[in-house]
Chain A
Amino acid sequence: MKILVAIKQVPDTATQVKIGADPRAIDTAGITWIVSPYDEFAVEEGLRIKEKRGQGEVVAVSLGPERVKEALRSCLAMGCDRAIHLNDPAWNDADTLATARALAAVVKQEQPQLLLCGRQAIDDDMGAVTAQLAELLGWPCAYWIMEETVDADGKSARVARQVEGGLEIFDIPLPAVLAAQKGLNEPRYPTLKGIMGAKKKELKDVKAGDLGLAAEPPQLSVVGLEALPPRAAGRIIQGDVPTAAKELVRALREDAKAI
């Protein structure tokens, strides 16, 4: 069974993010980059499916500039068999739809039975590419997957989707797109052997022209970025605990009108 995992490289949550000289983008100097956490759940799930079946191939794919190779290498170190890097300035202004179109073109070439993604990337939190890929491919799609089992014959999967108030269980015919939610699994750390082995694995550059695509104007574009306005300074309520509790409840009712 061939499994494709689409991942995104994003700034580490704890990293300082500053608006760049072009106020529509961030200043990428000094940023620590990671594989988006939800995408790690997707990679882990792909590897587990392969291990359980005793055969198969897990291919990691990502779109972005040269630095994205580092993220793909860490997927290879986790155990992916090879990686595809959509690396072309034609995609510099790619919005979710242009990204989904590029990834869909790769899926059509590779023809996996399963496409795994994270439920959203933690940089722009749009959470759209997975569903848009499903739409462009005409495949069924299940979001926020908490459990997944591929049938022995590899023709369908039973998935548990997290919804408000519970889980919904579906049988989904393959090929299909699944979006990983936290709780699906616990991603492994790459071993030293994995890290060394990753250097020998195939990491292929793909240009827009290779997929028969050209630069397209984005359907959604950023007008500008603004730093979050700082919150007004708060107040530490002093005094012993009973006094402080009384004063807090009074302030919430009378000053903040929050209760």
Chain B
Amino acid sequence: MANAFWCIVEDDRQGLPKKVMAEVIGEASRVSGGHAEAVWLTDKATDAGLAQLGAWGATRVWLLEHATFAPYRSEVWVGALADLTAKESPKAIFGAVTSRQRELVARLAARLGVGLAADCIAFAMDGDRLVATRPVYAGKILAKVTWAKGPWVATLRPNVFRPAESQPGRTAAIEKPATAPPAAVMKFVERREEASTGLPELAEAEIVISGGRGMKGPENYVILEEMGRVIGAAVGASRAAVDAGWRPHRFQIGQTGRTISPKLYLGFGVSGAIQHLAGMRTSKVIVAVNKDAEAPIFKIADYGIVADLFEVVPELTKEFKKLLEK
């Protein structure tokens, strides 16, 4: 449909859309006045997954199901998506900021010859054009951008947009257009799973705990992980801690790591260098614990405690436990 806002589905590889899709569909519905549609490329969809997309407010789901869509390869996905785009002429194509959609959506925009706004944090209609807001220069400045022509292609930063409520009464029309995806050029060898911490994924977590140089060594992160288990938080690290070899790079928050935007960020022994702030300053509530009262992180913190983190963390964990066990 010519006024449709497409939402490219990010799934858990088990047939269910990830929760970031509630945010993408919610925002697409809001900006388009109820014309959000989901486009799902997968090797296996489930009925529960299709129902979930409808419950979040997608009026239609374009399901492209084919073995060659897994694992994701841009040369396969872009061809299939571009074909469907040419047939259906959507008004906008939204994706989530994930490792694969970052690449996919950029490549798709080039195929279509249109502009791309990546990592957006707000959208507004201005007459009949869409204006997107995105952080630039380490998040020190917000840029408002717009497109010369459609479809308007954009990716949305997770945890920023208000998620659509899941309403089981809402259902989407399911379309299964014939798809003949291009052959894969890249040959899949294997997938290496990370050792699971049992804690939420950093980029999607609603609460994130971060340990900086003040953690003094890799062995001390267990106290943060313990707190993480109590409050359901992901545990990340600053660049200083990652560069010291205390944590693997996938845990790094900041400009050369993950950009996060949780409901609650708790930084322990994090000084708040600009490159760290670039990755977390859109967090809703920021808590900082640092011995150094002059640490720059206190300038953007909503709550601060000036004290030794090794005294504060066990006390806080105890208090969180008391609160949540009530």
Contact = CB atoms under 8 A, between A and B. Distances in A.
Interface of A: 11, 13-14, 17, 19, 26, 37-38, 95-97, 100, 120, 122-132, 134-136, 140-144, 146, 158, 160-173, 179, 181-183, 217-228, 231-232, 234-237, 241-242, 244-246, 248-249, 251-253, 256, 258-259
Interface in B238-272: 248-250, 252, 255-257, 263-264
A217 B106 CA distance: 18
B116 A142 contact: no
A231 B118 contact: no
B136 A162 contact: no
B116 A220 contact: yes
A17 B143 CA distance: 13
A234 B192 contact: no
Contacts of A140: 73-75, 185-186
A128 B255 contact: no
Contact of B148 (A220, A227, A242, A253): A220
Interface string B178-193: 0000000111111111
Contacts of A251: 303
Contact of A228 (B142, B185, B305, B318): B142
A25 to B, nearest CB: 10
Contact of A259 (B98, B131, B323): B323
A244 B308 CA distance: 12
B60 interface: no
Contact of A241 (B111, B131, B255, B311): B311
Contacts of A165: 193-194, 201
A222 B207 contact: no
B137 A17 contact: yes
Main secondary structure of the interface of B (DSSP, over half): mixed
Interface in B74-118: 74-75, 78, 98-100, 102-104, 106-107, 109-111, 113-118
Contacts of A236: 293, 298, 304-306
Nearest to A243: B315
A242 B313 CA distance: 10
A163 to B, nearest CB: 5
A226 B255 contact: no
Given A134-B74, A166-B191, A170-B189, A17 B141 contact: yes
Contacts of B207: 258-259
Contacts of B143: 124, 222, 224-225
B189 A158 contact: yes
Nearest to B318: A245
A33 B187 CA distance: 39
Nearest to A172: B186
B106 A127 contact: yes
B293 to A, nearest CB: 8
Nearest to B320: A249
Contacts of A171: 186-187, 189
5 contacts: A97-B115, A128-B116, A226-B141, A241-B307, A244-B307
A132 B274 CA distance: 29
Contacts of A168: 71, 188, 190-192
B74 A164 contact: no
B301 A234 contact: yes
A253 B264 CA distance: 11
A249 B285 contact: no
A153 B298 CA distance: 55
A222 B145 contact: yes
A246 B186 CA distance: 54
Contacts of A19: 141
A170 B186 CA distance: 6
Contact of B281 (A17, A222, A228): A228
